Chain A
Amino acid sequence: MNVYKYASPTNFYPLAGKMIPWFATPAAILFAVGLFVGFFIAPPDFQQGDAYRIMFIHVPAAWLGMFLYVLMAIYAGIGWAFNARLASMMASSISVTGAMFTFISLVTGAFWGKPTWGVWWVWDARMTSTLILLFLYIGFISLQSSIEDPRRADRAGAVLALVGVINVPIIYFSVQWWNTLHQGATIRILQKPTIRGSMLWSMLILLAACWLYSVAVVLIRVRCIILEREQNAARFAEATL
C-alpha cells in the first residue's frame, strides 16, 4: 500500500474524516471516566483539601500546551524542509489547539493558586514560562494570519516556530534563574504533594483524554484548512482565466 499518497491534502482529507470519530469518541469516554475517578473516587488531599482536584485538568493542559508546541514546530519544519503543504497545514491547525490548552492551563493554574497561595497570580517559574509559551503561540498565529500568500505564511511560520522551539529551553532556564533570585522577597511556594493512587490515575486518564481530543480537533481543523485553500485556489484560477 502506498502510504505517501496521503501526503497530498486531497487524499488526506477523507482519511482524516474517517479517523476523527476514532479519536473523538474515546476522548469523550475518557473525559467522563477521568472526571468520575477524580471527583468520586480520589480522596481529599491531606495538605490541600479538595483544591488539588484542579490539578487533574491543569497538569494535562500544561503538558499538552508544551507538547503541541514542539509538535507544531516539527510539522512546520517538515513542511518547510520537504516543501510539504500538508505538514504546514497541520502546524497551523495545531497552533490554535495548543494555544487554547496553554490558556486553559494558565487560568486553571490561577484558580488553583488562589485557594492555595492566596493570590490569583504568582510569578513562579512554571506559570511565567507558560505565559511566555502563550505569547509564542500568539506570535505564530498572528504571523500566519497576516501573510496572505499561504506558502509564504507556512514557511515564515516554520522559521518562527523553529526559532521559538530552540529558545524555549533558554527561556525556561532564564525564568527559573530569575525566579530563584527573587524568591526571598515573594510568597513561599507550597510544594506540590507527591501524587499517587487514584489521583495519579485520574490525571493520567484525563491526560489521555485531552490528547485524543487534541488529535480529533486538529484533524477537524486541518480538513477546514484544506477546503479553504482549495476553494481559494479554485477561485483565483477562475478569476484569472
Chain B
Amino acid sequence: MNWPDLSFGRYGFYIWGSYLFALVAIVWELVSLSYRKKSQKQEKTSPRVLRGSTNETTS
C-alpha cells in the first residue's frame, strides 16, 4: 500500500474540496432526516393542539 502524495500535486484542493462537499451534503441529508424524526417523536408525545379542537365553548 503506497500512501499517495496527500496534496496530489496541484490538485489537492480540488480533490479534497469535492469529496468534502459530497460528505457535507450526505451528512446534511442524514442530519435533517434525524431532526425530522426527532420532531415527529416530540409531536407524538406532546402534540401541538389546534385552536378550537377541544369541545369547550368558552375560551
Min C-beta distance of B1 to chain A, whole Å = 6
- Chain B residues bordering chain A, tally (CB within 8 A): 29
- Using CB atoms, name the residue of chain A closest to B7: A50
Min C-beta distance of B42 to chain A, whole Å = 11
CB neighbours (8 Å) of B52 from chain A are: 239
Min C-beta distance of B49 to chain A, whole Å = 9
CB neighbours (8 Å) of B15 from chain A are: 50-51, 53-54, 111
A114 within 8 A of B: yes
A224 within 8 A of B: yes
Min C-beta distance of A97 to chain B, whole Å = 7
Interface mask (A52-86 → B, CB under 8 Å = 1, otherwise 0): 01100110010000000000000000000000000
CB neighbours (8 Å) of B11 from chain A are: 49-51, 53, 115
A238 within 8 A of B: yes
Contact B29–A217 (Cβ < 8 Å)? yes
Contact A114–B33 (Cβ < 8 Å)? no
Contact A54–B18 (Cβ < 8 Å)? yes
Min C-beta distance of B13 to chain A, whole Å = 9
CB neighbours (8 Å) of A104 from chain B are: 21-22, 25
Contact A114–B14 (Cβ < 8 Å)? yes
Min C-beta distance of B53 to chain A, whole Å = 4
Q: How large is the interface on A (under 10, 10 to 19, 20 to 34, 35 or more residues)?
A: 20 to 34
- Using CB atoms, name the residue of chain B closest to A35: B19
Contact B14–A115 (Cβ < 8 Å)? yes
Contact B47–A235 (Cβ < 8 Å)? yes
B:13-48 near A, CB below 8 Å: 14-15, 17-19, 21-22, 25-26, 29-30, 33, 36-37, 40, 43-44, 47
B2 within 8 A of A: yes
Q: Which of B3, B30, B43, B50 interacts with A231 by CB under 8 Å?
A: B43
Min C-beta distance of B27 to chain A, whole Å = 11
A108 within 8 A of B: yes
Contact B29–A112 (Cβ < 8 Å)? no
CB neighbours (8 Å) of A4 from chain B are: none
A221 within 8 A of B: yes
Could you write out 10 A-B pairs with CB less than 8 Å apart?
A: A40-B1, A53-B8, A53-B11, A100-B25, A104-B22, A107-B18, A111-B14, A231-B43, A235-B50, A235-B53
Closest 5 CB pairs of A and B: A111-B18, A50-B8, A239-B53, A108-B18, A51-B11
